[in-house]
Amino acid sequence: MKHRQLGTCGPGVSALGLGCMGLSHGYGPATDRSQAVALIRAAVDRGVTFFDTAEVYGPHLNEEVVGEALEPLRDRVVIATKFGFTFGDDDKQQILNSRPERIRSAVEGSLKRLRTETIDLLYQHRVDPEVPIEDVAGTVKDLIESGKVRHFGLSEAGVTTIRRAHAVQPVTAVQSEYSLWWREPERELLPALDELGIGFVPFSPLGKGFLTGTIGADATFGSDDFRSVVPRFAPAALQANRALVELLNRIAADRGVSSAQIALAWLLAQRPSIVPIPGTTKLHRLEENLGAADLNLSAADLQRISETFAQVEIQGDRYPAALQARVGR
């Protein structure tokens, strides 16, 4: 497995990390705990050293699984988690809350669930408009000075917020969605991160599974699957967006690799500071994804991909309106 550095002052990590959310949250029923633990450990065996979770996934369950899986391997891995919410009575209602006291209590809970003394990378999960980002960054700075956290990150934050936070406590990494079918970060976010020396961690690098080519135009999703409320996965959008997957499949076939590998290799080719975190619940998909780290796309390959994808206008928003309002602040 190849390695990269997260930002100018961040940790060295595997070129591809593992997004652990889907093992217990967001994409249907939780994976059997023993199987989830086995998958995470299999990833370490195959060279993955970067694992992403969050307090909100479950909530709490995902951190517990990651903690159990990585406790005996702790000195070999970098663990990222996130704060930023409190929960309603049924644990399903997520309420933005990045007040300093809430950040501190969230970190204490995460440390226990992750079975570790230090969180390697702590993200604010979503910007809280009720709490100045300087207060958030200052609180994380205190946690870093106390040894409970090593690095500070932001998720789905806007460029102005990133700059303000970075002035108080250097930001090691920013996490946002980025893939061949969501390229908005190229407009403002990526140039700003380059300027500031901040690493970029794309989540949903396979378009929530769409870029694997395994989701048909007639696909449906259960009520416990996040995609059931995502406009981009509505029937009409799926039908229109299949054109993109068909083009991707052709490029992959010409190279003798999978569509997922092309999509991940394309991301890796964009910048050396990019570390995607594809998620999966299946060992064979994990191995397929990791193969992308060794797939080198030539300048001609990248030009063909760019020209090919320019032919397709992607249909559907990536979030329902209520969730879209939380990003880019």
Helix (H, G, I), strand (E, B) or coil at 170: coil
pTM here is: 0.96
Diameter over CA atoms, the chain? 54
Provide, rounded to the nearest whole percent, the portion of the chain with pLDDT above 70. 99
Cis peptide before 276 (omega within 30 of 0): no
Query: Does residue 227 lie within any of the structural domains?
Result: no
Query: Does residue 37 lie within any of the structural domains?
Result: yes
Query: Does residue 250 lie within any of the structural domains?
Result: no
| Active-site option among 27, 57, 123, 178 | 57
Query: Does residue 179 lie within any of the structural domains?
Result: yes
| CA gap 107, 79 in Å, rounded | 13
Query: Does residue 140 lie within any of the structural domains?
Result: yes
The pLDDT of residue 153 is above 70: yes
Q: How many domains does the chain have?
A: 1
CATH classification at residue 93: 3.20.20.100
Does 319 qualify as catalytic in the annotation? no
Query: Does residue 320 lie within any of the structural domains?
Result: no
Contact assessment for residue 67 and residue 108, using Cβ atoms and an 8 Å cutoff? no
pLDDT tens digits, residue range 217-267? 899 999 899 999 999 999 999 999 998 999 999 999 999 999 999 999 999
Question: How does the average pLDDT of the chain come out, rounded?
Answer: 96
Please give the residue range of the domain that contains residue 90. 3-212+270-295
- Residue 196 burial by Cβ neighbours in a 10 Å radius (0-12, 13-18, 19+): middle
Query: Does residue 224 lie within any of the structural domains?
Result: no
Query: Does residue 135 lie within any of the structural domains?
Result: yes
